[in-house]
């Protein structure tokens, strides 16, 4: 158990809909990262937050947004969903500026 909790584990929705994925980092970790893993694109870095502030941005679509709340949990909002958004979405946390990431078990999103 990594200590990182992601909900929901599975989500099935239709094109055009909006979903919210939630992540609770390990106790004490200030950094939260979001990654998307799909078969054709591999593991893609989306965005990173540190203590509530956005720190790094990767290949995150404009239809996607994220935030980190004062209690350090984070949410990833995906809107106007397309078939190609079907993927595993991982949240990870870390304690320091550099070092290992602790991954949650992911949220599997299926867009029909």
Partner 1 sequence: SQQGEEDPQALSIQEGENATMNCSYKTSINNLQWYRQNSGRGLVHLILIRSNEREKHSGRLRVTLDTSKKSSSLLITASRAADTASYFCATDRDNTGFQKLVFGTGTRLLVSP
Binding interface with partner 1 (CB under 8 A) = 2, 4, 31, 33, 35, 42-43, 45, 48, 50, 55-56, 58, 88, 90, 92, 94, 97-106, 108
Contact 66, 55 (CB under 8 A): no
Q: At residue 107, what are phi and psi to the nearest 5 degrees?
A: -120, 120
Residue 18 or 43: the one with the smaller Cβ distance to partner 1 is 43
Q: Closest separation between CB of residue 16 and partner 1, Å?
A: 27
State which residue, 37 or 79, has the beta carbon closest to partner 1. 37
Interior/surface letters 70-101, b for 16+ CB within 10 angstroms, e for the rest: eebebbbebeebeeebbbebbbbbbeeeeeeb
Euclidean distance between CA atoms 26 and 59, whole angstroms = 24
What's the closest the beta carbon of residue 95 comes to partner 1, in angstroms?
12
Residue 48 or 68 with smaller CB distance to partner 1: 48
């Amino acid at each position: 158990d990594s200590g990182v909790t992601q909900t929901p584990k599975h989500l099935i929705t239709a094109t055009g809909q909006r979903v919210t994925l939630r992540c609770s980092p390990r106790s004490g970790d200030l950094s939260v990262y979001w990654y998307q893993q799909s078969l054709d694109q591999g593991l893609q870095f989306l965005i990173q937050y540190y203590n509530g502030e956005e720190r790094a941005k990767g290949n995150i679509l404009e239809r996607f947004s994220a935030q980190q709340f004062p209690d350090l949990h984070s949410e990833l909002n995906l809107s106007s969903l397309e078939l190609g958004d079907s993927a595993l979405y991982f949240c990870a946390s870390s304690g320091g500026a550099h070092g290992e990431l602790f991954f949650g078990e992911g949220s599997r999103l299926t867009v029909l």
